[in-house]
Structure 1
Amino acid sequence: MVLPEGFALPPWYLLVPILVVLAGTVALLWALEPPVTDRTVLAFAPWMMLGSALHVLYQLSAYPDRFEILFATPTVYLITAIAAGLCWIVAIFLYAGGLQPTIPRFLGVAGTAFFTVFAMVIINAGWSQETFDLFWPVICVVVAGIVTAIAWVALSLWFTDVAATTSYTGALVVFGHAIDGVSTAVGYDVIGVAETVPLSALILEAGESLPTADYIGAGWLFILVKVVLALVILGLFKEFVDEAPRQARILLAGVAAVGLGPGIHNVLLFIAT
């Protein structure tokens, strides 16, 4: 089994319109050719987290039965991508009309507003069910920040050109995978959550088989693998960012989302349950 548990596609009569709208959004953005800078990638971070929040609400059974399949994996991320893409298009036209000083500002503010609303819904759900807890979620974010800082300093010292070229986009990639690794480790070693992604489960099982498992748990190996993989990807993308910065940053944003999305999902789920 390669796909994670809970992976489910909606019926074709829902999936086809979603794919058509997504393709149309991508096509329009391709035609508009908006600039993609480090600020653009950072502006998409709250949208990545929004997808996680929407999926957590699905796991909390917050949606009506007829619509809940739209917020399962992977459809929820397709819908979030459509929303982010449409907001990006609106930001482009507002900037062109002189109504916004920059495109990333509108994109980031809108994403942050949407994420905040749905995150508050999750917090309220946890509070009403008396399962609200901030201790481990805060620990996850703080430790992920420390791990990111250490990894970024190491990258800056030994591979200065890679850190300078990938810049804030690279830092987001490292943080995204750090918080995914840390939250997964906390869930596995401390809270006792079973890992649903087969490949991740294999790494955690490998960590559990090491002599260090009795002292520091099994999750440290997963954190190490995630962060090292992120740094290796940045190294491989260095020349690509130099030659085609727009395309490279878009792909790196996708790499960041693969880490940040699951990581924030774990953190929000810990808060509510």
Structure 2
Amino acid sequence: MLPAGFGLPPLPYLLALAAGTVAAIGALYVRRPPVTAATVTALAPWMAAGGALYALYQAGAVPDPAAPLFGSPAVYVTVGILAGFVWALLAERPGESWRPTEASTILAAVGCSLLTVALIAAAVTRTSNAVGARALLSGAILLVSLVGGTLIWITLRRVTDVSATGTVGAVVVFGHTLDGVSTAVGYGMLGFGEQTPLSRLVIEAGGALPVPELLGGAWLFVLVKTVLGAAIVVLFEEYVREEPTEGCLLLGLIAAVGLGPGFHNVVLFAIS
């Protein structure tokens, strides 16, 4: 049931990741940085950076000595450790808003810097005009996902109360919309396979249903992902309202499951 390409790095790297994880969690526990909707939302560029770095790894653009740290799932642990230490360093700063000096803004800025470096490396990796055309397609996927996610979020805000989830809820909706749309385009237009067995079953089920060929075989996967993202936000509303720290963190993890793989897809399409 594990995704294709999923595997643990060699033992020395695995031990280093384990030690780094313990150290990062320890730093967060001791420093107790602010856990708010804003600071958890600030982790979004870190999630996207993890997906982009994994795409670079698959394209063979990561130097060999560091490559085991950027496979799956190691890359998300690597990025998580870095984010954890940066977050811990910002413990003395408030994180309720997006003022330039607050923890949320600085955490997001550092994550955006890492994402920018990954995207520059991806741009350098491109080697042909055909790949450049795919980069435009990746941009279109991001735009469609942003518009679609925004419309879903606006609809949720109008038909039910999801105000407690705030910007974290919006990231969940966008992340899962991006994952659904990018998977559908990769599967239906670019000839990419689906790495996750459960997702592949959903796509195959959609392809077997009597629907217009224009929708493509992955239409059901897009529907499932978008509905799932919206439903999770609705279900988490009361939990986040009663336990904002735990609720925001769990929503952040759910957002990462969509945003990381989704951004991985668009970067991989552009460079492979």
For residues 98-247 of structure 1, what are the structure 2 equivalents within 5 Å? 101-127=101-127, 131-133=131-133, 134-159=135-160, 161=161, 163-247=162-246
* Cα separation, 1, equivalents of 2:44 and 2:34: 17
* Cα separation, 2, equivalents of 1:80 and 1:28: 15
Unaligned runs of 5+ in 2: none
Does the CA contact (< 8 Å) of 1:38 and 1:169 recur in 2? yes
Please tell me the residue identity of whatever aligns with 2:116: T
TM-superposed deviation, 1:213:
4.9
Q: Give TM-score, length-normalised by structure 1.
A: 0.92
TM-superposed deviation, 1:129:
8.0
* Cα separation, 2, equivalents of 1:176 and 1:95: 26
SS of the residue corresponding to residue 24 of structure 1 reads helix
User: What does residue 8 of structure 2 align with?
Assistant: 9
* Cα separation, 2, equivalents of 1:241 and 1:217: 37
How many residues were matched structurally?
A: 267
Unaligned runs of 5+ in 1: none
* Cα separation, 1, equivalents of 2:141 and 2:182: 5
Does the CA contact (< 8 Å) of 2:49 and 2:118 recur in 1? yes
* Cα separation, 2, equivalents of 1:19 and 1:8: 15
SS of the residue corresponding to residue 12 of structure 2 reads helix
Q: Single out whichever of 250-259 and 52-61 deviates more from structure 2.
A: 52-61
* Cα separation, 2, equivalents of 1:230 and 1:5: 23
TM-superposed deviation, 1:94:
6.7
* Cα separation, 2, equivalents of 1:113 and 1:128: 26
Once the two structures are superposed, residues 36-92 of structure 1 have per-residue CA deviations (whole angstroms, 9 ceiling, x without a partner) of 222212211111111112111111112233431221101111000001111112222
Does the CA contact (< 8 Å) of 1:155 and 1:231 recur in 2? yes
Does the CA contact (< 8 Å) of 2:33 and 2:92 recur in 1? no
Once the two structures are superposed, residues 200-247 of structure 1 have per-residue CA deviations (whole angstroms, 9 ceiling, x without a partner) of 100110111111152311222111101111122112211211111011
Q: Structure 1 residues 215 and 132, CA, compared in 2 at 3 Å: closer, same or farther?
A: closer
SS of the residue corresponding to residue 126 of structure 2 reads helix
Instruction: Find out whether 1:257 has 2:267 as its counterpart.
Output: no
SS of the residue corresponding to residue 9 of structure 2 reads coil
Does the CA contact (< 8 Å) of 1:166 and 1:234 recur in 2? yes
Please tell me the residue identity of whatever aligns with 1:64: P
SS of the residue corresponding to residue 191 of structure 1 reads coil
* Cα separation, 1, equivalents of 2:231 and 2:94: 36
RMSD: 1.9
* Cα separation, 1, equivalents of 2:267 and 2:50: 11
**% identical aligned pairs:** 40
SS of the residue corresponding to residue 131 of structure 1 reads helix
TM-superposed deviation, 1:130:
5.9
* Cα separation, 2, equivalents of 1:240 and 1:94: 26
Q: Single out whichever of 165-174 and 85-94 deviates more from structure 2.
A: 85-94
TM-superposed deviation, 1:24:
2.1
* Cα separation, 2, equivalents of 1:79 and 1:129: 32
TM-superposed deviation, 1:182:
0.3
For residues 57-136 of structure 1, what are the structure 2 equivalents within 5 Å? 57-93=56-92, 101-127=101-127, 131-133=131-133, 134-136=135-137
* Cα separation, 1, equivalents of 2:147 and 2:105: 27
Does the CA contact (< 8 Å) of 1:35 and 1:246 recur in 2? no
* Cα separation, 2, equivalents of 1:233 and 1:95: 28
